[in-house]
Each structure stands twice: as structure tokens, then as C-alpha cells.
Amino acid sequence: MVRQYATFAGGCFWCMVKPFDETPGIESVISGYTGGHVENPTYEQVCAETTGHVEAVQIIFNDELYSYEQLLATYWTLIDPTDAGGQFYDRGQSYTTAIFYHNEEQRELAERSKADLEASGKFDKPIMVKILPASTFYPAEDYHQHYYKKNPMHYERYSIGSGRRAFQEHHWGNKHE
């Protein structure tokens, strides 16, 4: 098994777990915080935007069963890549998008996938997703982990009410939940 890490920021981390979870080759999906300057931040600190962190998911995956390219393809369908101010209902720096690469190959693949999306003409605005080196990832509090399983009704209302699901269906024809 070739165990690797992938880290993606895509707005609210609750909505970033389910599409990756329980996929063959995905060992785990952890909600958390990364990219900032405060050690072991809390949800309240990150939301107050005093830490520099963004909400993100860290995925442990077997590259022989589910490639990094497949992860990137899924990631793009979960976000509005043209929005630099947050994602959907959630606004502010802590909800911005980024691909955090763990090695040079991931950086190159992320850059290529971003360039391919820009060249596709799918969006009429520039792609604003940052591609950054991975830094320390801090798992979020337990109540945030696999939120869609713990609070399915609230998760469903949030996914619809935030506008994320309608955006996905409009632009990608998918129904990631």
C-alpha cells in the first residue's frame, strides 16, 4: 500500500468529508485547521479569524486504489473555484479555498489540474484556489468529525441552504452530499 496525504480547503469542512469518505482507497478523512500561525487552534479561534488557519480536510489515501488526480477531480466539483472571499454561505478568510501539497508531484498535479480547469472555459471568472505547501494540520474538535453522520438532518439542510448543492448541480451535474 502506498499511503499518502492530501489536504484541501473548500469552505466549511463539514461539506468536504462525505464525498471522499467511504471511497475505496480512502483510509480516512479528518476535518481540521491548517495554514495559520497558532498552535492547536479551536473552532472559535479559527472562526474569529485570528489564527490565519482555514477549515480543511486531510485525507489519508492509498494511491494505488484512488489516485491524487482523482482526489483533485473530486475536489474541484465541491467548491466554487472562482470565489476568493469564502465559499457559498460562509464568508471570510477561514472559509477560503486552497490545495495544500505534500510533495513536488502533488504540487505539479495540482498546478496542472488548476490550469486545465482554467483552460476548459467552464467558468467565466479566474480560478482563485491557492496552491500552497502543506503545513501542520490540526484535527478539529470531535463534534466536527464526520458531521454528516452525526447530524444528518442538519447537514442536509446546511448543504442545501448554503447554496453549495445547487452550485454543484448547476456546474457539474453531480449531487455530492
Using one digit for the tens of pLDDT, what is the confidence trace for 89-118? 999 999 999 999 999 999 999 999 999 999
**How many whole angstroms separate alpha carbon 4 and alpha carbon 16?**
18
First-last CA distance in the chain: 28
Instruction: Kindly list the domain boundaries of the chain, sorted by start residue.
Output: 3-172
pLDDT band at 175 (very low <50, low <70, confident <90, very high): low
Please identify every residue annotated as catalytic: 12
Q: What is the pLDDT of residues 16-47, one digit of tens each?
A: 999 999 789 999 999 999 999 999 999 999 99
Q: How far is CA 106 from CA 27, 32, 63, 93, 99, in A?
A: 18, 20, 12, 24, 9
Q: Which of 168, 138, 112, 170 is nearest to 33 (CA)?
A: 138
- What is the per-residue pLDDT for 144? 95
CATH fourth-level superfamily of 3-172: Peptide methionine sulphoxide reductase MsrA (3.30.1060.10)
Give me the pLDDT at residue 31, please.
Answer: 98
Burial 73-104 (b: 16+ CB within 10 A, else e): ebbbebbbbebeebbbebeebbbbbbbbbeee
